[in-house]
């Protein structure tokens, strides 16, 4: 049984801070790591702004959940600052009373909250960038606070080498570390029977650039006869993508499937995966597709993806925002089953180095670095 301090708080090994557990790449990584820690017997506390009712990823019942509360949507600037100040003090109180051995946070704004809340508490603080800090816009205030405050964390991680290098200007190099996203390896084989389906996974947002895939499929026309496109995800571009599908005469061949609880059946059934984002950190959808042995096509504007995809070796790389070149890559895979098999096999092999077991052990070494730490 977890020890209880004099204030009635259950003491924890790890406090994990993230804005919400709704659908998203950072949330998926958080869910997988928290599951792994709970299975190892770690006592985990999770602090979110959003309530459990908004969760897409469900946390284990053994996790202690703390909800900061959501900032009112109609709050003015002064009210927003007061809310943020209250959130910092609430997080600080839980850090002080639950006495975690280490606290970890994901995503820029949440990282800044954790650093401010932990000042002077002598807790081990690990923060993590989950996107490309050179491309993602977080706003003037948060950008400057990142430059000012990140150096006060014990460890600053990112899921790409590119992001780590981008932070060297304002974080001491010895504090920076690249930690890969964990992958749950699948039993799917590259030789399994697949359908003539091109798959893309990600929220329907301009950043993900699903428009480009629809345009590329439209350019192929009769050359891609019998092939269809499935897009998993939800977002503000649904109507735009629907209109673009109809404009290109693809209404019978493009399906927007929305958010799905379990994407694995779609990875198992598809024959090609396309990642067309304008920018990313490490795309979880790409890693999942590779783990399923899918041949993947990615944009050359994604340094994180290119740490896994080597052109014509473990996937294909197209010129960013070039629908014609993307169409050519799609056609190559449509026409050459042996190429799909070769790229998919190598993609699956590369994912074996990033299993959940391997990556969670790396996080354990960061969280509990002392020689007498729990193993």
Residue-by-residue DSSP string for 319-348: -TT-HHHHHHHHHHHHH-HHHHHHHHHHHH
- Per-residue confidence at 132, pLDDT binned at 50, 70, 90? confident
234 plus 159 within the same structural domain? no
Give the integer Cα–Cα distance in Å for 310 and 312: 6
- Per-residue confidence at 222, pLDDT binned at 50, 70, 90? confident
The answer to whether residue 246 is domain-embedded is yes
Predicted confidence (pLDDT) at residue 190 exceeds the cutoff of 70: no
19 plus 163 within the same structural domain? yes
Give the integer Cα–Cα distance in Å for 146 and 309: 30
- Per-residue confidence at 6, pLDDT binned at 50, 70, 90? very low
How many domains are there within the chain? 2
109 plus 224 within the same structural domain? no
Averaged pLDDT, 343-355: 94
Predicted confidence (pLDDT) at residue 256 exceeds the cutoff of 60: yes
Predicted confidence (pLDDT) at residue 105 exceeds the cutoff of 80: yes
168 plus 280 within the same structural domain? no
The answer to whether residue 229 is domain-embedded is yes
Strands ordered across the beta sheet of 14-17:
64-67, 44-48, 14-17, 102-106, 124-129, 155-158, 176-178
The CATH number covering residue 229 comes to 3.40.50.2000
The answer to whether residue 1 is domain-embedded is no
Predicted confidence (pLDDT) at residue 372 exceeds the cutoff of 70: no
Question: What's the predicted TM-score (pTM) here?
Answer: 0.83
Residue 272 DSSP one-character state: E
Residue 70 DSSP one-character state: P
Q: What is the pLDDT of residue 189?
A: 58
283 plus 361 within the same structural domain? no
Which whole-number Å values give the CA distances from 322 to 241, 277, 336, in the listed order?
Answer: 18, 12, 22
The answer to whether residue 292 is domain-embedded is yes
161 plus 220 within the same structural domain? no
Predicted confidence (pLDDT) at residue 370 exceeds the cutoff of 70: no
Predicted confidence (pLDDT) at residue 332 exceeds the cutoff of 80: yes
The answer to whether residue 191 is domain-embedded is no
Domain of 73, in residue numbers: 14-182+355-367
The answer to whether residue 189 is domain-embedded is no
**Which tens digit of pLDDT belongs to each residue from 33-74?**
999 999 999 999 999 999 999 999 999 999 999 999 988 777
The answer to whether residue 374 is domain-embedded is no
25 closest CA partner among 157, 159, 130, 177: 130
The answer to whether residue 4 is domain-embedded is no
20 plus 139 within the same structural domain? yes
Residues 6+ apart with CB under 8 A from 332: 316, 339
Q: How many CB atoms lie within 10 A of CB 10?
A: 15
169 plus 239 within the same structural domain? no
Predicted confidence (pLDDT) at residue 1 exceeds the cutoff of 70: no
- Per-residue confidence at 135, pLDDT binned at 50, 70, 90? confident
In three-state secondary structure terms, 82 is helix
124 plus 211 within the same structural domain? no
360 plus 304 within the same structural domain? no
262 plus 247 within the same structural domain? yes
213 plus 344 within the same structural domain? yes
**Which tens digit of pLDDT belongs to each residue from 292-302?**
999 999 999 99
Q: What is the pLDDT of residue 149?
A: 97
């Amino acid at each position: 049984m977890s020890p209880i301090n004099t204030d009635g708080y259950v003491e924890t090994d790890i406090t994990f801070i993230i804005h919400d557990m709704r659908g998203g790449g950072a949330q998926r990584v958080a869910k997988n790591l928290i599951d792994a820690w709970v299975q190892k017997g770690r006592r985990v506390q999770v602090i979110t702004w959003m309530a459990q009712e908004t969760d897409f990823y469900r946390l284990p019942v053994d996790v202690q959940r703390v909800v900061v509360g959501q900032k009112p949507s109609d709050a003015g600037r002064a009210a927003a600052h007061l809310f943020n100040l209250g959130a910092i003090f609430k997080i600080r109180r839980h850090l002080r009373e639950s006495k975690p051995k280490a606290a970890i946070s994901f995503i820029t704004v949440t990282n800044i909250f954790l650093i401010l809340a932990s000042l002077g508490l002598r807790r081990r603080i690990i923060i993590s960038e989950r996107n490309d800090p050179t491309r993602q816009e977080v706003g003037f205030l948060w950008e400057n606070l990142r430059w000012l405050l990140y150096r006060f964390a014990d460890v600053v991680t990112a899921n790409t080498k590119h992001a780590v290098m981008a932070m060297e200007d304002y974080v001491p190099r010895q504090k920076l570390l690249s930690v890969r996203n964990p992958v749950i390896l699948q039993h799917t084989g590259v030789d399994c029977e697949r359908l003539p389906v091109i798959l893309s996974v990600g929220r329907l947002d301009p950043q993900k650039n699903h428009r480009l895939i629809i345009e590329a499929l439209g350019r192929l026309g009769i050359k891609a006869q019998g092939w269809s496109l499935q897009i998993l995800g939800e977002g503000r571009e649904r109507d735009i993508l629907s209109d673009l599908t109809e404009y290109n005469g693809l209404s019978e061949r493009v399906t927007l499937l929305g958010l799905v609880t379990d994407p694995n059946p779609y990875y198992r059934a598809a024959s090609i995966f396309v990642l067309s984002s304008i920018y990313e950190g490490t795309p979880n959808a790409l890693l999942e597709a590779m783990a399923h042995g899918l041949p993947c096509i990615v944009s050359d504007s994604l340094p994180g993806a290119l740490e896994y995809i080597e052109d014509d070796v473990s996937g294909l790389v197209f010129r960013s925002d070039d629908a014609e070149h993307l169409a050519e890559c799609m056609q190559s895979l449509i026409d050459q089953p042996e190429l799909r098999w070769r790229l998919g096999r190598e993609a699956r092999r590369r994912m074996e180095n990033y299993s959940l077991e391997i990556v969670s052990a790396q996080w354990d070494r960061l969280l509990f670095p002392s020689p007498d730490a729990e193993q």
